[in-house]
Amino acid sequence: MATSLTFYANRAYDKDSHKGLILTGIFLTTLFLMNQLDWMKLFKVKQATLKTEEKLGELFWEIFKDNGEEVSDTLVIHQHQQYRECYVR
């Protein structure tokens, strides 16, 4: 009696574990297929990121301009440009 009960329990377990594996397989296959498409291009993610960065840059520039004084002295700007040419490469 106990043996047959274990047998049926094991059979049920095997069947369900197979179904579980199939379900996981379906999920992973869908994920793999979705991965084949270029969603970045489809949703224009790069363009949207660049646009957001540009808008944020403008916004920050406005804030900095409002809160501080913009230096337009050619000597300072020239020195800064020289510094950049020498050290930032």
Partner 1 sequence: MITNTHFPYTPGEHEAEKASNSYLMSLIAVIAGLPLPIVNLIATLIFYLGNRKGTYFVRWHCTQALLSQFSLLLINTIGFWWTIGIIFSTETITNQYLAYIITILFFNLLEFIATIYTAINTRNGIHVSWWFYGDITNILCKSRL
Q: Which residues bind partner 1 (CB under 8 A)?
A: 12-13, 15-16, 19-20, 22-23, 27, 30-31, 34-35, 37-40, 43, 45, 49
Which residue, 21 or 77, has its beta carbon nearer to partner 1? 21
- Dihedral sign for Cα 61, 64, 67, 70, please: negative
Q: Give Cα 36 distance to the centre of its chain.
A: 16
Half-sphere exposure of 17 (CA within 13 A, CB side): 6
Which residue is associated with the tokens 């049926």? 8
Least distance from C-beta 16 to partner 1, angstroms?
5
Which residue, 12 or 76, has its beta carbon nearer to partner 1? 12
Residues 6+ apart with CB under 8 A from 40: 46
Least distance from C-beta 88 to partner 1, angstroms?
22
Which residue, 45 or 71, has its beta carbon nearer to partner 1? 45
